[in-house]
Chains A and B, each alone.
Chain A
Amino acid sequence: MFAEIGHFALILAFLVAMAQAVLPMVGAVRGDSSLMLFGRTAAQLQALLILTAFAMLMISFARADFSVALVAQHASLSQPLAYRLAATWGNHEGSMVLWVLILALFGAGIGRFGDNLRPALQARVLSVQAMIGVAFLAFSLFTSNPFLRLAPAPLDGSELNPLLQDPGLVFHPPLLYLGYVGFSVTFSFAVAALLEGRADAAWARWMRPWVLAAWIPLTCGIALGSFWAYYELGWGGWWFWDPVENASLMPWLLGTALLHSAIVTEKRQALAGWTILLAILAFSLSLIGTFLVRSGILTSVHAFAVDPARGVFILAMIIGSTGTALALFAWRAPMLRSGSLFAGVSRETGLTLNNLFLMAVTAVVFLGTFYPVIMEAVSTDKISVGPPYYNLVFVPLAVPLLLLVTVGPLLAWKRDSLVTLAPKLKWPALLTLAVFAVLAAVLGLKNAQAAFGFALAFWLILGGLMVLARRWQGTAGLSWRLMRTTPAAVVGMALAHAGLGFTVAGVTAMSSFAESKILVMRPGETTALGAMQVTLASIGAAKGPNYEAVQAHFTVRQGNSIRDLDSEKRFFPISRNQTTEAGIGTGLLGNSYIAIGDQQQGPNGSGIVVRIYHHPLVGWIWFGALMMAMGGAASLADRRFRIGAPLKSPQTPTLGNLPGQGLRPGMVPAE
């Protein structure tokens, strides 16, 4: 019965979405305020209905109701409850319901929190949002119905892939979807602006919190996915340039560009066309990512059960949304009012270059991911594009961008000069060069690129600190007041840019200094890797709710510290799958990582395969990502940028007294 309620709710939501797609748009064109207001009600109703449908699906999983086909395919009685619930979205059909749920919740959010939006703009945004909803609800209802029944109902189901039975699964897809779907809001804003013919500072200011609302969970989702792969897949890899990983990275890169471009549009009414294009492309890449995962067009470890028929449907959706948006862009964007001028050396130029480099870097990931498909379509040769390509092309394009990250915040708006800029950069540049020189000397010339990487990380962290340190000027009392009243967005920028530095440091360390050793060990034997002494203490058996395991206990000695690590090889009888659980010793400066393999004959007799790794600074990769997310959250918390910020009496904006700043011109360069 629950499944039927859920199905019915989904159908009703579909109907509501269709109404929401049409009526508010008509209202906006005609100036009919009641039709425009209907958009808000419809959005909230739609969200409620889809929430009901999702809840019904989740309940079916919780109750292990095997008469629902989806539950029978992805859950079993012995599967722990948490993973039965998480299995709701660990499959194609369920994840699509999650997708439309988040879409509807964002739409309801626009309706609920958009009180300061021009009614016509809000109505248009809600309409576009609903059009996307209609497409995805149709996809779900007509090709991927999660509520199909199975008769007769089996007594037990097939369990969820053991690799997915993990706390990471609970959070990774929802976070990613919040990101992917969140960019639908910015897409709707962009299309609405094109329809209205207006993309002004107010529009950018309203859009910015939504960019952050999508960017922050996407950052967390990608970081969590990387972390999950690290501890789950058994060899400490954290990024594989797999097509589906790339599909999450591309919206993130463009989303970052969008975030910064929107700042320029908001402050200086410039780059409006670029901001709109980025908003369209970011969501389009989300859709293309969905297409990638579910159509079978590329092989990937992440792919759901593939179905080209579904691929055709998604392709049609992409043509409808992206195609229409880009056509609209080609038609209307040239009519947008050009923004104010800015000099060759200025914050605007810095951010424009930022856009350019981020687009180039996105092009690397895009070309790498899709070139095999392109080649297949135009020739008979099949090629692969793997990590060697990305390493060679991504890095040279990313480095100038990273150098720019520290320089940008030091530039003034509208007009600055190298003469003013140079003194600000003198000490940071010298310090960074010193760090590089010292590291190159200590690590040796063959590790020059690692020294460069660490120096770059230092440059970035320094840049983040400088953003805050620049507020320390004048008398101690004034400085203290300036620090205390640092706008949250400035704190956000400092955190995010410094976080980027930590990630770069972690990546550099892992690329150049990760060590491994593979050998057969017997209980009692000791081996060394770097500064670690690893002893295999004992091998035993272990049992879990739905698995049996071989468990090995290790003692790791490093300097004065001793720690115990366990590694397991788990066997899941129902799905006949195997996973390896690694023993990870975390530390501030790196992890020790031990994974066992199968039994084998070693030099001293029969033993077990042991792989020992040392992963320097690997934790910094995700710590940096976390800092970036926190920076985004700080920025979101800034009252100046939230939609509900109080409207002050309109003042002519001049440099220094933009609403909310509260500082007199000349005190601190405008942020």
Chain B
Amino acid sequence: MRRWLLPLLLWLAMPVAVALPMAPALAVQPDEMLADPALEARARAISKDLRCVVCQNQSIDDSDAPLARDLRIVVREQLTQGSSDTETMDYIVQRYGHFVLLKPPVEPATWALWLGPFAVLGFGGMGLWLWSRGRHPADVVPLTPEEAVAIASFTDSPTP
């Protein structure tokens, strides 16, 4: 049992936020961009996590739609006024609901979403472990004298 502890700990210690941000995207126009690069970077990051509600599955950072542009500008306005990242996201969520969050909220309704795959791994692994424990080679029972004679006759006789 102890042998598995180290690999498990190593795995858990691995940075969970090994994120894969996609390559920087298209639709932001130069006239929207903020002069302050730090604020602009925050605006881009927030925009990537907000869904364009009139598009087919794009973030407002990626989309050309007019509403997406408006929302990008709103995000920048909020940041310039001093809102934090969370407050800015909440501003948009207040108006459009959780649908606009590309990272689904972590709440009881979405536990199955966030934990489901780990559960598959966990239950599957447990099932395998239990199955492997239940299988051992059949206990060896010595031959009875009759069986020994029968086997001797088989092995000594010529093949048909």
Please, which residue of chain A has its CB at the minimum distance from the CB of B23? Answer: A514
Looking at chain B, what size class is its interface with the partner chain?
35 or more
Binary CB contact string for chain A from 606 to 640 against chain B (1 if under 8 A, 0 otherwise): 00010101010010000000000000000000000
| B76 interface hit (Cβ, 8 Å) | no
Interface segment out of the listed B80-88, B98-106, B143-151? B98-106
Residues of A within 8 A of B100 (CB): 384
Task: Give the complex CA separation of A234 and B20 in angstroms.
Answer: 20
Most buried by A among B26, B128, B137: B26
CA distance A271 to B128 in the complex (A): 11
Q: List the B side residues contacting A510 at CB < 8 Å.
A: 22-23
Q: Assign chain A's interface to a size class.
A: 35 or more
Instruction: Name the contact of B62 in the complex, choosing from A237, A597, A600, A618 (C-beta under 8 A).
Output: A237
Chain A's nearest CB lies how many Å from the CB of B73?
A: 15
Q: Which residues of B contact A239 (CB under 8 A)?
A: 22
Contact segment of A385-393, A433-441, A536-544, A653-661? A385-393
Cβ contact within 8 Å between A238 and B23 = yes
B113 and A613 contacting across the interface, CB-CB below 8 Å: no
Are B56 and A519 neighbours in the complex by a CB distance under 8 Å? Answer: no
With A357-B121, A396-B14 as known contacts, state yes or no: A384 contacts B23, CB within 8 Å: no
* A78 in contact (CB, < 8 A): no
Given A383-B105, A384-B101, also A300-B112 (CB < 8 A): no
Given the interface pairs A396-B14, A600-B31, the reply to whether A371 lies near B20 with Cβ below 8 Å is no
Please state if B113 and A367 are interface contacts (CB–CB under 8 Å). yes
A519–B104 CA distance with the chains assembled, in angstroms: 33
- What CA separation (Å) do A601 and B17 show in the bound complex? 40
Contact B20 A511 (CB under 8 A): yes
> Is there an interface contact between A300 and B121, defined as CB atoms closer than 8 Å?
no
Residue of A nearest to B16 (CB): A396
Q: Are A360 and B104 in contact (CB under 8 A)?
A: no
Decide if the interface of chain B is mainly helix, strand, loop or mixed: loop
Are A391 and B19 neighbours in the complex by a CB distance under 8 Å?
yes
Known contacts A235-B62, A359-B124, A381-B109; A303 and B117 CB within 8 A of each other:
no
Given contacts A238-B23, A363-B120, A385 and B128 within 8 Å (CB-CB): no
Pairwise interchain contact A360-B117, C-beta atoms closer than 8 A: yes
In the assembled complex, the Cα of A243 lies from the Cα of B18 at a distance in Å of 22
Docked-complex contact A341 and B135, CB < 8 angstroms: yes
Is residue A507 contacting chain B, with contact meaning CB distance below 8 A? yes
Residues of B within 8 A of A352 (CB): 128
Q: Is the CB of B137 within 8 A of A236?
A: no
Given contacts A399-B14, A510-B23, A518-B29, 14 further A-B contacts (CB under 8 A): A235-B24, A242-B57, A356-B125, A356-B128, A360-B121, A360-B124, A367-B112, A379-B109, A381-B109, A383-B99, A384-B51, A392-B16, A507-B20, A510-B22
Please name the 9 residue pairs, one residue from A and one from B, whose CB atoms are nearest each other, closest first.
A386-B102, A235-B26, A388-B103, A516-B24, A360-B121, A514-B23, A363-B117, A391-B20, A382-B99
> Which A residues form the contact surface with B (CB < 8 A)?
233-240, 242-243, 299-301, 303, 341, 344, 352, 356-357, 359-361, 363-364, 367-368, 371, 375, 379, 381-397, 399-400, 418, 448-449, 452-453, 507, 510-511, 514-516, 518-520, 595, 597, 600-602, 609, 611, 613, 615, 618
**What are 7 inter-chain pairs, A to B, with CB distance below 8 A?**
A236-B23, A389-B102, A389-B103, A399-B11, A449-B18, A449-B19, A514-B23
